[in-house]
Chain A
């Protein structure tokens, strides 16, 4: 649509700038907060320009930890978060690829029933079934380890559904050509289907990595050992410093650090991400 009305142009730019400000301002405040010392952060009004304590705070957060979570450093929490996000993303993608492959390419009894069973789990995210799931995980002895953190979050209807749709757009002739060339089912999966779905996998990886990284409620429930804390719940723990005032400068620094990996993943995989969500040509 081409319209040349100055007011519309002006108005839409204003809306966009406002949107940018809404998103960017809290991040700026976080950055500014991370660059001042503890004293300045307790005075009103809060600073709007960066101070000179950024690298001091960075070192402090990484080495000594913050508030209630003092025994372990931000580095360890970020490592835990990274492991959890990776396991969730990779695990979900692997399982979903296989189940979508089965549903699309194999004719077995009750195929559609299984598909709908998977589909229905969309209505049962972890938050809904949190107590029974906790019970199961506890009985399996998976409290306070990476398996407990990730396994209950891995089974995924969304990803299965997305891969199913992606596979349905792959022309049948590709499978037939591969069969004539002598490829068995797993060979076809590995040599043809996976590379062809490359962009879809990348797009899902981005979404699932962020989903995993931002998990809060489940890690909070499943970890009691401080060495298993993740960064997102770690930030919450820092606020609950018992007798002292919260160390805002370090909390801001931690928050800033916690934002980096998801941003890095999005920027790094941006091209594939967009292709995976929009590209239809196989």
Chain B
């Protein structure tokens, strides 16, 4: 087990820089998730840690040892791939044993370790099967087993659950979490799925376009997103953004049209009179009487999800699209307007130009 230190790491292909100086420390035993939209460079970062891609500049250290120029096999890491990358001609046992065999472990040691891992992953009955005789979830476990038997300092996961169906994904997510609890190996997990990221990670690194937008615990990132990008990326349905202007006295956020949101006295945005983007999560709207409401919503349609109802609509006088999530079931009358209020502490403010949190 070890700490992973990423210092000012960049990656360029020819003249195009795709990762622009990422800095972070992954503590011993931590489960960190690197999350971002596809093509943001998250996999590249992981592959640089694994040693499958060269590091253009900066340093990566694993357990106080700079690994920039080490081969993948000497970095003491193990990796799970999206398509599992099991050796198709080897049995499950041989798949798991291969890494140990190459490291000249004795037959007994190999057998003991593989059996132990198989027990942990409930693969005991499958050891003699070939990968093609396994289901997706089982293949995934074998790929995990191949990592576990090596007892590496760091686990790397490259979108390991993307090829599974929705139900299995939830189940494997839980298994992964439990596995990490038992083994306590430093883990770096790449995904584009924000639900996976939020549920698995001790901390998240949100990457966009090769920059680390924000690093922090899931709760931090959800409640205090540092940028508009992070705010919009985490949470489903995603946050509503509305352009607004802070009133001259700093007490109101005026929306285009006639509505405005009251800002509590304890919410100080500063910079009165300034144009900002306000962000409100769908679940932070509440129903209100007409006179106490901030604005009214024309309903386009509503989706009943069981535990809650998602309402898509437009602000009555400026046609801005809005998503609202109300708990439980609501009889929705498409003819009527919905009157909504927002608690001031749930309003996020972002700079219109830079997208940074104010």
Residues of chain A at the chain B interface (Cβ within 8 Å): 171, 173-174, 176-183, 187, 191-192, 195-196, 198, 281-282
Contact = CB atoms under 8 A, between A and B. Distances in A.
A173 B72 CA distance: 13
B19 interface: no
A179 B78 CA distance: 10
Contact of A179 (B72, B86, B88, B103): B72
B95 to A, nearest CB: 9
A182 B88 contact: no
Interface residues of B, number: 26
A178 B98 CA distance: 9
A181 B85 contact: no
Given A176-B79, A181-B73, 16 more contacts: A173-B81, A173-B82, A176-B52, A177-B79, A177-B81, A177-B87, A180-B50, A180-B51, A180-B99, A181-B146, A182-B102, A191-B87, A191-B98, A192-B89, A196-B88, A282-B88
Contacts of B73: 179-183
Interface in B51-95: 51-52, 71-73, 77-79, 81-90
A182 B81 contact: no
B71 A179 contact: yes
B87 to A, nearest CB: 6
A282 B77 CA distance: 25
Closest 10 CB pairs of A and B: A173-B85, A181-B99, A182-B73, A195-B89, A177-B85, A182-B102, A173-B81, A180-B72, A179-B72, A176-B52
A23 B90 CA distance: 42
Nearest to A181: B99
Contacts of B86: 177
B102 A180 contact: no
Contact of A180 (B77, B83, B132): B77
Given A171-B83, A176-B52, A176-B79, A181 B89 contact: no
A217 to B, nearest CB: 40
Interface in B127-149: 132, 146
A198 B79 contact: no
B85 A174 contact: yes
Contacts of B98: 178, 181, 183, 191
A186 to B, nearest CB: 12
A193 B207 CA distance: 35
Nearest to B50: A180
Contacts of B132: 281
Interface string B284-302: 0000000000000000000
Contacts of B90: 195
A196 B102 CA distance: 19
A171 B71 CA distance: 20
Contacts of B88: 196, 282
Q: Which of A179, A180, A195 has the most CB of B within 10 A?
A: A180
A16 to B, nearest CB: 35
Contact of B87 (A176, A187, A192, A281): A192
